[in-house]
Amino acid sequence: MENKKSNLAWGVILILFGAFLLANQLVPGLKAIIDWPWIIMGVGAVFILLAIFTQTGGLAIPGCIVGGIGSILFYQNMTGNWETWAFAWSLIPGFVGIGIALATLISPKENPDGLSASLILISISLILFFIFGGARFFGVGSFILWPIAIIALGLFLLVKGILKK
């Protein structure tokens, strides 16, 4: 049964990939939009699709990491803001958190406490992102940063208390 799911998953992924390559060759102007970061995001999407089709939630974690990094690189490639990598790396724990949340939703028996762990990682990631420069990049002064961090911590504790069994 597991081999059948795997074959189906790979079949769908290869069909989608082939359709993408065909559209890239036949549709004028598509090559200008589709650039190298799409390949990285596509690899992440393949992991996530495999996780969904094979009900192997653990594959969603590397899929979210690779896809998230591809998204950062896509933004940087489109805007030329390569200096944002100085603080964009801090989003990677958040990608892990999103992957854990997806893994928990795909196969809840493997990791029943995954949602609380994912909330912790996403919260830490967002706080690090703003501390290391995201707030300054988006025009938010440091005077507003600490109240937002305290509110985020309060929201985290509130959600954790609600989700507690």
Quick one: pLDDT at residue 7? 76
Quick one: pLDDT at residue 65? 96
Quick one: pLDDT at residue 31? 67
What the block records as the tokens of 154 is 């309060």
Quick one: pLDDT at residue 57? 87
Report the 3 state secondary structure along the chain. Answer: CHHHHHHHHHHHHHHHHHHHHHHHHHCCCHHHHCCCHHHHHHHHHHHHHHHHHHCCHHHHHHHHHHHHHHHHHHHHHHHCCHHHHHHHHHHHHHHHHHHHHHHHHHCCCCCCCHHHHHHHHHHHHHHHHHHHHHHHHCCCCHHHHHHHHHHHHHHHHHHHHHHCC
Residue that is written with structure tokens 């081999």 in the block: 3
Q: Quickly state the pLDDT bin for 143 (edges 50, 70, 90).
A: low
What is this structure's pTM?
0.74
Which of 28-37, 59-68, 108-117 has the weakest average pLDDT? Answer: 28-37
What are the angstrom distances between the C-alpha of 25 and each of 13, 22, 30, 38, 131? 19, 5, 8, 15, 43
Quick one: pLDDT at residue 128? 85
| For residues 7-23, average pLDDT | 79
Sketch the domain layout of the chain as residue ranges. 35-163
Angle at 24 between CA 23 and CA 27, to 5 degrees: 65
Residue 110: closest CA among 46, 60, 64? 60
pLDDT 10s digits, 48-60: 988 988 888 889 9
Quick one: pLDDT at residue 97? 94
| For residues 65-73, average pLDDT | 95
